Amino acid sequence: MTPEQEYCHLFERMYDLCKEQEWGDPGSYARSREIYMAIKFGHQVATTYSGADAFDGDIPLEYKSTIGKKLTATYNASFGSLKSLLMSKQIILISELSLNM
C-alpha cells in the first residue's frame, strides 16, 4: 500500500468509526483532537458539538490544545454544579498530555 493509499484508508476508517460511535464529524474544527484526547485521558467522548468536549463520569470537560512540534493538551473541569458541597467554591482540575505529532 502506498502512503497515499494508506492515508485515504485511515481517513475513511476514521469517519466510519466516528459515525459508528456517534462522535460526530472528525473533520469539524478540532473535533478529531477532542476525540483523541478523550480516549487518551480515559474520558467519554461527547456526542454533541456544543457544550462539553468530553465527560469524566457526569463531569463535563473542556479541552484546550496547542500545536507546535508536539500537541500539548489540557482539560479543565468545573464543579460549579456541586456548590452546596464545596461551599460555593469553584474547583478546576487540570491535566496535561503531550504527544509527538
Number of domains in the chain: 1
Per-residue pLDDT of the chain (101 residues; tens, 9 = 90+): 888 889 889 988 999 999 999 998 888 877 888 888 888 888 899 988 788 888 988 888 888 776 666 656 666 655 444 444 344 334 444 455 555 44
Look up residue 92 and give its DSSP letter.
Answer: E
Residue 63: per-residue pLDDT: 81
Range of the domain at 30: 3-100
pLDDT at residue 94 in the model: 47
pLDDT score recorded for residue 92: 45
Element (H, E) at 16: helix 3-21
DSSP, res 2? -
